[in-house]
Amino acid sequence: MRIALVSDVYLPRLGGIEMHVHDLAVQLRRAGHAVTVFTATPADSPATDVPVVRLPSLAGVPTSLDALRFALGSGEYDVVHAHTSFFSPLAWNATRLAADLNLPAVITLHSLPAPDGVVLPWLLAHVDRDFGPRVRWTAVSEAVARRLRTVLPHRPIAVLHNGIDPAPWQQPPVDDHSLTIVSTMRLTQRKRPDALLETLQDIRRRVPADLPLRAVIIGTGPRAAAIARATRRRGLDWVELPGRLTRYEIQQLYLAADIYLAPAELESFGVAALEARSAGLAVVAMASGGVGEFVRDGIEGFLVDDHEEMAEVTAGLLTDRPLLQKLQAHNRFTEPSMTWPTVIEQHVAQYALTQPALSVGYLPSTA
């Protein structure tokens, strides 16, 4: 198939949507499909592994849609797949353009709305009114899909998970190391890095004083400077803030790590937690998000309801080596279900549903 992937945000900016759209494009191309990414994210140097059209923008908002309108109207694409967060004018406009051109479209929501929110449900319902009947809404997890179904009851909502290649994460661990807690996130208020610091401080109080601990919070973002100050103010000299790391660097760090913490209460999917789980780390995450679709209590890790429980459960794992090692061994030798072959199959099936004349078995390779 000929697929236009549309995302307001894309590499070189780092984040969950940015990385997923790039990886999805690569995997679709490997499966024999022709893929182009359209984005409003500028770049100094063009990417070479995926064709990218960077639309003119100001502060991340597209200022002209002429190139997108021309491309989608050219007849060169079979389907548009737009990736949206809470504010995604390019993704919404691309879906609207596809509807106007009678071009099949899939739109995926990557963010988890708060259960008591009012503005976002209204906004999504308002945006959907301009989409045609051939637009198919999807979500990155069942947690997001449940919320979206309440907003758009007339739309069938399917789940298109993020994907992973577990192999690079499944490396032999370093046996001789201090017990290490890690977390990878964009340092924004929504990811709750401040609450993570409080949780780490609580964990330190709960375990024996003579038990060596190390914690590493990977990532950067608007809260980076504030988190660095808070770490010093709290006296957390055992907490490291290396900033932005490459995937390879994270994989190497995880070789000498034990537990991954996912503190966000509105985690739509949690690909960083999935990567850590694939690397053999026990995962402790909030039960309110999408991490529960690949972490089960007592098997891959634990799901908790608040940060006090997160500290309690993590401290328990740090002082119960047999249980910790059991979880780690399971994760290291058991692949999750969200591997790329399965995820690509899910995506292609959704694309086929937008085109009644096609079936999943009749999707030509055009790349």
35-53, pLDDT tens digit by residue?
999 999 999 877 678 999 9
Name every residue whose Cβ is closer than 8 Å to that of residue 191 and which is 6 or more positions away in sequence: 185, 221, 263, 264
Mean pLDDT of 95-108: 96
Quote the DSSP letter at residue 293: G
**Residues pairing with 256 in the sheet:** none
Q: What distance in Å separates the CA atoms of residue 161 and residue 332, rounded to the nearest whole number?
A: 21
Alpha carbon distance 105, 83 (integer Å): 11
Q: How confident is the model at residue 360 (pLDDT cuts 50, 70, 90)?
A: very low
| Burial of 107 (C-beta count, 10 Å sphere; 0-12/13-18/19+) | buried
Structure tokens at 330: 């399971």
Q: Which tokens is 236 given? A: 């957390």
- Average of per-residue pLDDT values in the chain: 93
Which homologous superfamily is 2-163+339-353 in?
Glycogen Phosphorylase B; (3.40.50.2000)
What is the rounded CA–CA span in Å between residue 1 and residue 186? 33
* 40 CB neighbour count, 10 Å cutoff: 26
pLDDT for the residue numbered 364: 42
Q: What is the pLDDT of residue 367?
A: 38
What pLDDT sits at residue 117? 77
Give dist(CA 262, CA 183) in Å, integer. Answer: 7
- Helices 16-30 & 340-353, crossing angle to 10 degrees? 80
**Across 67-90, average pLDDT:** 96
Residue 185 three-state SS = coil
Query: Rounded to an integer, what distance in angstroms lies between the CA atom of residue 238 and that of residue 197?
Result: 11
Interval 134-144: pLDDT, tens: 899 999 999 99
pTM: 0.91
193/264 Cα distance (integer angstroms): 8
133 compared with 242, residue with greater pLDDT:
242
Tokens of 154: 């007339």
Tell me if the bond preceding 121 is cis, omega within 30° of 0.
no
Residues 6+ apart with CB under 8 A from 40: 8, 9, 54, 55, 57, 60, 61, 62, 89, 90
> Where does the pLDDT of residue 14 fall: very low under 50, low under 70, confident under 90, or very high at 90 and above?
confident
3-state secondary structure of 213: strand
Contact 328, 282 (CB under 8 A): yes
The two beta strands, 57-58 and 61-62, are antiparallel
**Domain at 167-333, CATH from 3.40.50.10600, 3.20.20.70, 3.40.50.2000, 3.30.420.10:** 3.40.50.2000
pLDDT tens-place string over residues 198-207:
999 999 999 9
Q: Which residue has the tokens 């995937």?
A: 247
Predicted confidence at residue 357, as pLDDT, reads 55
Report the Cα 155 to chain-centroid distance in Å: 23
Q: Name which of 40-54, 87-101, 157-171 the model is least confident about.
A: 40-54
Report, as an integer, the average pLDDT of 169-190.
Answer: 95
Single out the residue of 89, 151, 93, 159 nearest to residue 122, CA to CA.
Answer: 151
Q: Is the pLDDT at 301 greater than 60, yes or no?
A: yes
Is the dihedral angle over the CA atoms 289, 292, 294, 300 positive or is it negative?
A: positive
Q: Do 140 and 161 meet the contact criterion of CB atoms below 8 Å apart?
A: yes
Name every residue whose Cβ is closer than 8 Å to that of residue 105 and which is 6 or more positions away in sequence: 79, 80, 81, 82, 94, 95, 98, 99, 131, 132, 134, 135, 136, 354
pLDDT of residue 356: 64
pLDDT at 366: 39
> What is the domain partition of the chain in residue ranges?
2-163+339-353, 167-333
Fold match, 2-163+339-353 / 167-333: yes
- Maximum Cα–Cα distance across the chain: 67
The whole-number pLDDT of residue 121 equals 83
pLDDT > 90? residue 311: yes
pLDDT band for position 256 (50/70/90)?
Answer: very high
Residue with the bigger pLDDT between 114 and 294: it is: 294
pLDDT at 341 over 60: yes
